[in-house]
Amino acid sequence: MMNPEIERACEKLVLDFAYHSDHQDPAALAALFIPEGTLIRPNGDTLRGRDAIRAAYEARPAGRLIRHLCTNIRVTVESESEARGLTYALVLSANASRAPQAHFGIEMDPRQLVGEFEDSFKRTPEGWRIASRHARFIMHTV
Q: Give the pTM.
A: 0.94
Q: What is the spatial distance between Cα 112 and Cα 70, in angstroms, rounded to a whole number? A: 14
Q: What is the spatial distance between Cα 125 and Cα 111, in angstroms, rounded to a whole number? A: 41
Q: What is the spatial distance between Cα 45 and Cα 55, in angstroms, rounded to a whole number? A: 13
Handedness of CA 44, 48, 49, 54 (dihedral sign): negative
CB 71 within 8 A of CB 88: yes
Eight-class DSSP state of 107: P
pLDDT in tens for each of the 142 residues of the chain? 889 999 999 999 999 999 999 999 999 999 999 999 999 999 999 999 999 999 999 999 888 999 999 999 999 999 999 999 999 999 999 998 888 888 899 999 999 999 999 999 999 999 999 999 999 999 999 8
